[in-house]
Amino acid sequence: MKDLLKSFVYAFKGIFYCIGHERNMRIHLCFTAYMFGFLTVHDFFEVSRVQFAVLVALCALVMALEAVNTAVEKTVDLETKEKNELAKIAKDSAAGAVLIAAIGAVAAGIIILYQPDAFAAMVDYYKENIPVLIGFIISFVASLIFVFAGPQGIKEFFKKHVK
């Protein structure tokens, strides 16, 4: 049982490493959080349980492949620091796998979530609830900072500017 718990700890360390060091993982995480926020907190979209499950599975697949991509990149870097055609192929192929899954996930998301009435309802909701709109804008800006600066960049900023 102890070994099982250790394996979960190591798995979570890997996930947090990817979030902390891989911008694309943070992009996937933020898109996923917003999408499921809109699907679960608000009742704008009509999505069946099967469609919801498909969206969950595709988001999980994209993020899992991003973690595998990171593992491939780090393993290749461990093996060689010099320019190597095989190393490049391994890294590019792993990144390509993520891209294929991400394109498929976006396509499925568009097919499932393209509901013009839902988007119109969202616009009306935010027009009528300005404080909620402001909260959304603040969270979106915070997400952009999280994605592009990363946890380390945010930490450095506060160390430098907040005393």
Residue range 71-89: mean pLDDT, rounded? 91
SS in 3 state form for 28-77?
Answer: HHHHHHHHHHHHHCCCCCCCCHHHHHHHHHHHHHHHHHHHHHHHHHHHHH
The pLDDT score that the predictor gives to residue 144 is: 96
22: phi then psi, degrees, rounded to nearest 5 = -115, 110
**Residue type at 52?**
F
The pLDDT score that the predictor gives to residue 152 is: 86
Span 115-143, pLDDT tens digits = 999 999 999 999 999 999 999 999 999 99
Is residue 159 predicted with pLDDT exceeding 90? no
Domain spans, the chain: 2-161
The pLDDT score that the predictor gives to residue 16 is: 95
Token reading at 109:
């998301």
SS3 85: helix
- For residue 79, with 0-12 CB atoms within 10 Å meaning exposed, 13-18 middle and 19 or more buried, which class applies? exposed
User: Look-up: residue for tokens 């976006």?
Assistant: 106
The pLDDT score that the predictor gives to residue 27 is: 98
The pLDDT score that the predictor gives to residue 8 is: 95
Q: Which CATH architecture has domain 2-161?
A: Orthogonal Bundle (1.10)
77, 15, 19, 136: CA torsion to nearest 10: 160
Which among 31, 29, 39 has a CA at the least distance from the CA of 115? 39
Lowest mean pLDDT among 13-22, 73-82, 103-112: 73-82
Active site residues per annotation: 66
Span 17-33, pLDDT tens digits = 999 999 999 999 999 99
pTM here is 0.88
Residue range 70-75: mean pLDDT, rounded? 96
Span 32-61, pLDDT tens digits = 999 999 999 888 999 999 999 999 999 999
How far is CA 29 from each of CA 63, 103, 146, rounded to the nearest angstrom?
Answer: 8, 15, 10
Is residue 105 predicted with pLDDT exceeding 80? yes
Token reading at 137:
């804008």
The pLDDT score that the predictor gives to residue 48 is: 97
Q: Exposure pattern of 138-158 as b/e (b: 16+ CB <10 Å)?
A: eeeeebeebbeebeeeeeeee
The pLDDT score that the predictor gives to residue 158 is: 84
